[in-house]
Amino acid sequence: MTLVELTLYFMLLSLISVGGMPSVLPELQRYAVDVKGWMTPDDFIQVFAVGQAAPGPNVLIASLVGWKVAGLPGALLALAAMCGPAAVLAWWVAEAWDRFKDTPWRRAIQRAIAPVVVALILSGGFILATPAAPDWRLWAIAAASAVGMLISKANPLWFLAAGGAIGGFLLA
Amino acid sequence: MNVAPPKTLGELFFGFLSIGARSFGGVMPWAHRVMVEERRWVTEADFAETIGLCQFLPGPNIGNASIVYGKRWFGLAGALVAFLGLFALPFVWVLALFALYADFAATNATLRAVVTGVGAAGAGLFIGTAIKLGRVLVRRPAALILITGCFLAAGIGRVSLFVLLPVSFACALLAARRGWL
């Protein structure tokens, strides 16, 4: 039953995941933690951290949530469900979208989506850095890596590594 | 620059496999390196345009790009092969890493602290990305209002995205049609 629910949920999430995984993290956290109680807020940030540190598309966070809920079948189904409906859409839309390159409504859609996606990514970052009560240590690490990525072009893995090292000192 | 698409499904598979295999710290730079620079499957402009499209479609950007390119070159078989090649190794690695982590985390508080630190840094990367993308947008008051409103609803109010997205997108579209965005 959980597997069916997990799959259906990720299929729906797939269809509204404009901007990719970062935009749907607030929603995924709300559902997995607040609504379903599949994991604690602290577990969620751990799952996210492993997903970010491992190589590969960050949509794999979905498969980690699936893994935590229902093992290997959960991981496979979550990933397939998170990618499938969007992939079908990409299959059909790609060429049509190309044809309408210069139409005003396409430009309107592009301009409309941008601020919404920015707000959702910002919300994802805020929620992950605030798993329970506000904690200055998590906010400090998040702020430092945000500033770091804005002023340098280093591989993001360095910021994750630095965050891990600081976390080991501050949070243990 | 001379570009030539992959000639066989095998070539397509291994190209995407090598993107997934090496994508530490983000997939997009590696996709660019493999497809544009190393294998010369597509031109710079083609790559930028396809990624741009995939960013506006729902779903993982690079996953969608694998579908679009796979379809263009080999139809349905190509889309499936490119997608599987891209995800095969990262899927195994992320599960292995998580299994390893779960084994040790139960008894080791320091490890949990380190991983939480990594998570907080990852959250910071999201915030940095949002600032980078949002900087140009917020010169328009309507965009600033939209961003603030959506952030308050999703980040603080914990409103479901299934409600928030249609509502905010409708407002944004209205604003865009009036030339406010």
Give pLDDT, residue B1. Answer: 62
Residue B104 in contact with partner chain A when CB distance is under 8 A: no
Residue B103 has pLDDT above 80, yes or no: yes
- For the ranges A89-98, A135-144, B75-84, B120-129, the lowest mean pLDDT is seen at A89-98
Give pLDDT, residue B48. Answer: 87
Residue A22 in contact with partner chain B when CB distance is under 8 A: yes
The encoded tokens of residue A7 equal 């799959």
Return the percentage of chain A with pLDDT > 90, whole number: 73
DSSP B152: I
- A149 within 8 A of B26, measured Cβ to Cβ: no
On average, the pLDDT of chain B sits at 92
Q: Counting every residue, how long is chain B?
A: 181
User: Hey, are the CB atoms on B120 and A118 less than 8 Å from each other?
Assistant: no
pLDDT tens digits, A32-79: 999 999 999 989 999 999 998 888 898 999 999 999 999 999 999 999
Query: Highest-confidence range of A83-87, A150-154, B133-137, by mean pLDDT?
Result: A83-87
Residue B106 has pLDDT above 80, yes or no: no
Residue A71 in contact with partner chain B when CB distance is under 8 A: no
Residue A126's nearest CA partner among A9, A6, A30 is A30
- The nearest CA of chain B is from the CA of A74 a distance in Å of 12
Residue A83's nearest CA partner among A66, A55, A117, A60 is A60
- B131 within 8 A of A150, measured Cβ to Cβ: yes
Residue B74 has pLDDT above 90, yes or no: yes
pLDDT grade for B43, boundaries at 50, 70 and 90: very high
- A97 within 8 A of A107, measured Cβ to Cβ: no
| Residue A65 identity (one-letter amino acid) | V
| Distance separating alpha carbons of residues B173 and B63, to the nearest angstrom | 26
pTM: 0.91
Q: State how far the alpha carbon of B177 is from the alpha carbons of A112, A119, A135, B49, B58, in Å.
A: 9, 20, 41, 23, 22
Residue A62 in contact with partner chain B when CB distance is under 8 A: no
On average, the pLDDT of chain A sits at 92
pLDDT tens digits, B1-10: 688 999 999 9
Average confidence (pLDDT) over B30-35: 92
For the CA atoms of A148, A151, A157, A158, the dihedral, rounded to the nearest 10 degrees, stands at -60
Direct distance between the N- and C-terminal alpha carbons of chain B, in angstroms, rounded to an integer:
37
The encoded tokens of residue A38 equal 């599949």
pLDDT grade for B49, boundaries at 50, 70 and 90: confident
| Distance separating alpha carbons of residues B29 and A56, to the nearest angstrom | 12
The per-residue DSSP string of B111-145 comes to HHHHHHHHHHHHHHHHHHHHHHHHHHHTTSHHHHH
Direct distance between the N- and C-terminal alpha carbons of chain A, in angstroms, rounded to an integer:
38
The per-residue DSSP string of A85-113 comes to HHHHHHHHHHHHHHHTTT-HHHHHHHHHH
Average confidence (pLDDT) over A147-171: 93
Residue B73 has pLDDT above 80, yes or no: yes
Nearest CA in chain A to B161: A27
ipTM of the assembly? 0.92
